[in-house]
Chains A and B, each alone.
Chain A
Amino acid sequence: QSVLTQPPSVSGAPGQRVTISCTGRSSNIGAGYDVHWYQQLPRTAPKLLIYANSNRPSGVPDRFSGSKSGTSASLAITGLQAEDEADYYCQSYDTSLSGWVFGGGTKLTVL
């Protein structure tokens, strides 16, 4: 049972837009801690996709965007491409656990 809740899977056709939610609580996202998003392709280490809620590292396409509101955050991917098929994880800090926490991950399937 992850502290941050993500849907296990989402899917979309090429060119479409999908969103992945990350629901937390008052001890993490709701307390104002930043949310980061990672993309993990099969058999590779995770890659930072969005940092501090809505910022893209250099090299990440602007098709990827993040937002945060209240105790939740979202990752949006527009113009879906086959190469976006991967697992996506959100991360934040939890004050009651005194440590960092991840969501359970969401598998994105491009139909």
Chain B
Amino acid sequence: QVQLVQSGAEVKKPGASVKVSCKTSGYTFTNYYLHWVRQAPGQGLEWMGRISPIGVSTTYAQKFQGRVTMTKDSSTSTVYMELSGLKSDDTAMYYCAREGGAGYGYWGQGTLVTVSS
């Protein structure tokens, strides 16, 4: 079965960086884009960007350009999202999600990133 398993919760200080992983299984990794979506406490969903499973293509939301980097390790079917210059309002649950050409049919369990001094 398709699974997206994310790394554990993180606590970071303002100005630091965080790198969240999303290990996929149960399907052919090269067939689907992976997206990252975040949700601040009590707030809505916010699209951050996506990474192609083939090559080096990434697309980032304008809000995060210059601060976010999405990478992948095809040998382990894992994607990563690194966010730098953390601020308190980056405190959120971060999700990876698989794009099936028609919405996100599969989601990771979420990784809580807390930014606090």
Contact = CB atoms under 8 A, between A and B. Distances in A.
Binding site secondary structure of chain B: strand
B25 interface: no
Given A45-B109, A99-B61, A104 B44 contact: yes
Given A45-B110, A99-B59, A99-B61, A36 B103 contact: yes
Contacts of A40: 45
Interface residues of B, number: 22
Interface residues of A, number: 25
B72 interface: no
A18 interface: no
Interface of B: 35, 37, 44-47, 49-50, 59-62, 95, 100, 102-105, 107-110
A64 interface: no
